[in-house]
Amino acid sequence: MTAMPVHAYPKHPGLISVRGWLAGPLAILCVFLAGVTAFILYELNLRKHDYQILNLAGQMRVLASTLHQQAEQFLGADVLRTGTIDESFMEFERQTADTAVLYQRIIQALADRELPADLIGRDAPLRCNWDRRSRNQLDVSVAFWRRYQLGLEAAKGTDPAHPHTLAMAGYMVANGPALVASTEELARAFQSMMEGKLRLIRALIVGMLAGAVGVTAIILVLMRQSVLRPLERTVAGFARVAAGDLGFQVEEAGTLEFSRMTRAFNDLSVRLHGMFELIDHIGRGSTLAETMAFVVDEFRRFVPVDGLALLVGTPEGKRYVVESVNGAAVADWPEIADPILAEVVSEQRSHVVEVDGAGPGALVDALRQRGLTSALLLPLASVREGGAILAVMSRKSGAYSAEHRQFLGIVGAQVDTVLSRTLVMDGLVVAAVQGLAKLAESRDPETGDHLVRMSLYSMVIAEELSLREPYRSIIDRDYVRSLHRFAPMHDIGKVGIPDRVLLKPGRLDDDERREMNLHPRIGAEVLKLCEQRMNELGRSVFRIGIEIAESHHEKWDGSGYPYGRAGAAIPLSARIVAVADVFDALTSKRPYKDAWSLDDALGAIRKDAGSHFDPDVVDAFFRAIPRVIDVYDRFKHV
């Protein structure tokens, strides 16, 4: 399966909610409409006042005209020839005073911008606002009226008992037109002000409608930009993913809701892509370690992983042995007997273990000792005998959620199949190693426990080497495991050596020695044929076995056989087995020699460092002497 490219788009640093996009313009529109409506209602309410103001202005005009008409009528009546002069004069004076008082009260109220309630027939006084023209004309009209009053008082005279009524009438006739004109000008100013207010109201209504249309257009544009287009892109993305373009990423929208939706879609697309890659990659592993490495690499894209361990139950189902690990935190994982593991296998249900707050137990203790605080246990149903568990572990507390368990449940079946197949294959390899090694051993029975000892020596040396550079990155647990398994196959080629040579009790002559020296090539050819068959199945199993069988008799200085390789050209696995093989041969009894003492054997190994043996391997061998001696004591040849 070809991995599909994942298209990545940059994420927006700041996201605005669609609600924000829409609420902003809508709020502005609502505030605008509310403000305009309130102002229009206010102005319409003022229109009621305006009618009263215009009514008062009309009354003033009528009063001004009345004063002028009263004076003309008084003078035209020839009151001097009538017999009721006093009564006529008094009636004129009374009418003039009443009209002037009313005029004065109205113009003063207009000047004070507060119309008394009784003047306008309301329950409360009315406050008024004038525009500049009205204010200016009101000032002019008030000033003219005051001059008119002063002139009228001067014409009347200073004696209240004997006013100059005729002079008053003459003054009123002479200045009446000007008073009427001033009053009419004030009425026109008020009329103009009222018309201006009407124009303003009409403009506001038009503006309100235009604003509503504009904001609606903006909302439609924003809807198109922030809702419809992201929706179209997302739908197109769904179509592409449905068509098989797994991993396709939709450009993230600039709004919060659609950003969440597109991000969720992109996460889903990546998950689908990753799951298919996971299924593809974990099926490529040629060894259990490679398969575990693929699983870790792919799992880390979806779940927190600081360590991964494959726990395989023993046949009786009481203990679980670590078959493979990935991650430094679980490199030294022990065998575990814990009811939790048995429960996971028996119920075939994933289980989350949290170290914090958990009671004592072998699994919890193992996690705690390695700085791990969370573990997700996934049962592998395909491993029937004893069962198996894939333990995904993290240093973070509460690392595994229900979503993680759901994800592992989805991919678990495929992981189960691949890992189970790998386990079965490894079991077959182990059986093959043991069978071939026993076959070679059966033709040379005097070797005793040589294969056991030298394989353990090889493992000890490799583990010691792995503690220092440059071998730390080369030798991992799987390497050590493979070395321990394949070291017994170092002499597998002896199955092709005739008995007359292999079982000869004395020293070999030159021809026999050349024939015996063919066994590394024979062993390598046998294992290469096995490896070729495994390669045809997409796996690699016997690589280290081939290295060991072919090169364990090569020497560091190039004087070994079968190819005379020297130095680093000799595979590391063969250089390690060479030291282990020679040390065990020196300390073991043979028909043609006695066993050497440990001191003599160690001296010979040290002496041949740099000539026969790799000096780094010899140094590691001596650093691991306590463990070497322990193996020697437990399995020494008697």
Tokens for 349, please give them. 């249900």
Q: Residue 3 has what pLDDT? A: 39
Q: Residue 602 has what pLDDT? A: 93
Q: Pick the range with the lowest mean pLDDT from 339-348, 423-432, 596-605, 615-624.
A: 423-432
Angle, CA of 591, 596 and 599, to the nearest 5° = 175
Domain boundaries 291-411, corresponding CATH code: 3.30.450.40
Tokens for 374, please give them. 């969370």
Residue 561 has pLDDT above 90, yes or no: yes
| 3.40.140, 3.20.190, 3.30.70, 1.20.120: CATH of 18-220 | 1.20.120
Angle, CA of 23, 24 and 29, to the nearest 5° = 95
Question: What distance in Å separates the CA atoms of residue 321 and residue 309, rounded to the nearest whole number?
Answer: 10
- The amino acid at residue 501 is V
Mean residue pLDDT of the chain comes to: 78
Residue 225 has pLDDT above 60, yes or no: yes
Q: Residue 617 has what pLDDT? A: 95
The residue extents of the domains of the chain are 18-220, 291-411, 443-635
Residue 378 has pLDDT above 90, yes or no: no
Adjacency order of strands within the sheet including 307-313: 320-326, 307-313, 388-394, 374-380, 351-354
Q: Residue 78 has what pLDDT? A: 62
Q: Looking at residues 210-239, what average pLDDT do you find?
A: 76
Domain boundaries 443-635, corresponding CATH code: 1.10.3210.10
Which candidate, 113, 123, 114, 66, places its Cα nearest to that of 92? 66
Question: What distance in Å separates the CA atoms of residue 113 and residue 159, rounded to the nearest whole number?
Answer: 35
What letter does residue 5 receive in the DSSP assignment? P
Q: Looking at residues 253-279, what average pLDDT do you find?
A: 67
Q: Looking at residues 178-207, what average pLDDT do you find?
A: 85
* pLDDT above 70: percentage of residues in the chain: 74
Q: Residue 266 has what pLDDT? A: 72
pLDDT digits 0-9 by tens, 401-420: 777 777 766 666 666 666 66
Distances (CA, A) of 483 to 286, 548, 565, 634: 16, 9, 20, 20
Q: Hey, CA dihedral for 534, 540, 544, 550, is it positive or negative? A: positive
CB-CB contact of 541 with 425 (8 Å): yes
Question: What distance in Å separates the CA atoms of residue 434 and residue 209, rounded to the nearest whole number?
Answer: 93
What letter does residue 250 receive in the DSSP assignment? P
pLDDT digits 0-9 by tens, 140-165: 999 999 999 898 888 888 887 788 88
CB-CB contact of 632 with 585 (8 Å): no
What pTM did the predictor assign?
0.47
Question: What distance in Å separates the CA atoms of residue 312 and residue 389, rounded to the nearest whole number?
Answer: 6
Q: Pick the range with the lowest mean pLDDT from 149-153, 346-350, 438-442, 491-495.
A: 438-442
pLDDT-derived band at 393 (thresholds 50, 70, 90) equals confident
Q: Residue 289 has what pLDDT? A: 62
What's phi and psi for 321, nearest 5 deg?
-100, 135
Question: What distance in Å separates the CA atoms of residue 528 and residue 548, rounded to the nearest whole number?
Answer: 12
Residue 595 has pLDDT above 50, yes or no: yes
Q: Looking at residues 516-527, what average pLDDT do you find?
A: 88
Distances (CA, A) of 21 to 15, 16, 227, 387: 10, 7, 10, 57
Question: What distance in Å separates the CA atoms of residue 95 and residue 188, rounded to the nearest whole number?
Answer: 27
Tokens for 625, please give them. 């002497």
pLDDT digits 0-9 by tens, 30-48: 777 777 677 667 666 666 6
DSSP letter string, 16-78 = B-HHHHHHHHHHHHHHHHHHHHHHHHHHHHHHHHHHHHHHHHHHHHHHHHHHHHHHHHHHHTT
Higher pLDDT, 587 or 637: 587
CB-CB contact of 406 with 274 (8 Å): no
Q: In 10 A of CB 485, how many CB atoms?
A: 20
Q: Residue 20 has what pLDDT? A: 62
Strand, helix or coil for residue 321: strand
Q: Which residues, at least 6 apart from 39, have a Cβ–Cβ distance to it below 8 Å? A: 204
Question: What distance in Å separates the CA atoms of residue 340 and residue 353, rounded to the nearest whole number?
Answer: 9
